């Protein structure tokens, strides 16, 4: 990536288990041993949405 991003780490229950805000270009995030997936979003989204560890994602079918 060539620009900073926010990274949200989630477990298999879709619960947030880690956050990296404004991860610099060409850097790796911290290892989160309970994370099963990551969601990469535009830098600043975690702060704007007040995403916190323990929050849960919900996937809805349209």
For the chain, the structural domain boundaries read: 1-27
pLDDT of 40 over the 80 cut:
yes
Average pLDDT for 39-59: 97
How high is the pLDDT of residue 62? 84
Residue 59 has pLDDT above 80, yes or no: yes
* Four-CA torsion 54, 14, 20, 52, nearest 10 degrees: -30
Question: In DSSP terms, which residues pair with 18 in a beta bridge?
Answer: 9
Tens digit of each residue's pLDDT (9 = 90 or more) over 13-38: 999 999 999 999 999 998 999 999 99
12: its two tokens: 């298999």
Cα 35 to the center of its chain, rounded Å: 10
Q: DSSP secondary-structure letter at 56? A: B
């Amino acid at each position: 990536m060539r620009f900073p991003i926010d990274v949200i780490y989630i477990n298999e229950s879709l619960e947030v288990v880690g956050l990296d805000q404004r991860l610099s270009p060409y850097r790796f995030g911290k290892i989160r041993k309970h994370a099963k997936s990551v969601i990469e979003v535009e830098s600043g989204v975690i702060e704007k949405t007040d995403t916190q560890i323990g929050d849960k994602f919900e996937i809805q079918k349209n």
